[in-house]
Structure 1
Amino acid sequence: MRTFLRKISTGAIVSVAVGTMTLGTLAGTANAKPEGHCGQSFTAETDGATAHWSLDCSGGQITVDGWYQDDEPDGDCVGVKAYFADGSTKRNQTCDGWGSKRSFKWTAPGSIADVYLYEY
């Protein structure tokens, strides 16, 4: 599943559609996959960043494993953030610049995760 999103500058929920939720944060962009479930994989894109992650479950825990990268020489920073069913939040971000690519891997109790790609 691929989704595309243009930059927005408000910090409010913009829309909810089948399989995709859009949320503006920190005067940047966000691209979300609400309630991703075990066994799913996602590719998300904003106008200046790309990410891919997979969700796997074992022993009552969900693991989000993936990467994100800065695709545009625009001076923006790029990050990925996940909200888990147990209320915990994980975040990874970089301001290393155009072409930088980072990996992430998070595990938390449960079987769903809301994962976001954003620029700021």
Structure 2
Amino acid sequence: MNPLLIAYGSLALAIACEVTGSALLQKSEQFTKLIPTLGMAISFFAALFFLSQALKIIPLGLAYAIWAGLGIVLTALVGVFIFRQSIDAWALVGIALIVSGVVVMNTLSSSVRH
């Protein structure tokens, strides 16, 4: 299988685990609930493991930008749809700027090699 595909698959798993860990952090209620706290710890450990696997192929700057950018967007969506939290217009502008930065980095920057 294509190593780049495996690396981006690992990065996708890292993002999913990080978002899951963040949601469980909310559910842990400041570490007072055992099961969500354990799930959170496992999710964050898995996120770092999969990120480390992605870094075998994907440059650190690119991988971290994608991981952080998509993590922020997906975590915000979890907050809205799962926890019924609201996002104002300025938060949406900020999220759009983050996504724009990741897109610019991936498409226009010569410092990122694929």
- Normalised by the length of structure 1, the TM-score is 0.27
Q: Which has the higher strand share?
A: 1
Structure with bigger helix share is 2
TM-score, length-scaled by structure 2: 0.28
| Larger-gyration structure (1/2) | 2
